[in-house]
Structure 1
Amino acid sequence: MKCIFDEFPHTVFIFRKVKDYYFLFSMSGLDKHAVPTKKDYVRMEYLLNKELCLLDAYRQRSVFKC
């Protein structure tokens, strides 16, 4: 899935589906003056999964399991 976010209008973010949620896979057209941080990546994943009603699966991924 390709997405563009308001904060980074010149960058196309590519998300891939893993199990029942999407994660950021790659990006193109990165502007060297507006480089996303890890916090931005997590926010983008959160927003996409929320929009697609996959937020429960995103929250339950193995990264959050202790």
Structure 2
Amino acid sequence: MNVKITKWGFTRRNSIKAEFDLFPHSLVILRKIRSFYFVYQVHWSSLDPIVETRHLEEMEILVNKELGYERYYLNRRKM
């Protein structure tokens, strides 16, 4: 994985806001769906590179791993 979490925290309504090293000026909002978190919004800054789909998936894996939901996230298609 190329992306690393630099900072994260809970917001209201079961959401998480996170910052990542490759996108230091952009804020990522993740929301809980079932037993894991998905990227809901990216408040992208033009100072950062363009966020690609592969980056979003890496972000989701990192946050779910951090919170202990990685197993649920990886098995999400089987549910």
| TM-score category (smaller protein) | 0.7 to 0.9
Aligned residues: 63
- Work out whether 1:55 is the aligned partner of 2:70: yes
Extract structure 1 runs of 4+ deviating beyond 6 A. none
RMSD: 1.3
Identity between Structure 1 and Structure 2 (%): 33
Q: What TM-score do the two structures reach when normalised by structure 1?
A: 0.87
If each structure's helix is expressed as a fraction of its own residues, which one has the higher value?
A: 1
Give me the TM-score of the superposition, normalised by structure 2.
0.73
Gaps of 5+ in 1: none
Larger deviation, residues 28-37 vs 12-21: 28-37
Which of 20, 41, 45 is matched with 1:5 structurally? 20
Q: 1:27 offset after TM fit, Å?
A: 1.3
SS in 1 for 2:50: coil
More strand by share: 2
Mind listing any 5+ residue stretches in structure 2 that lack a counterpart? 1-15
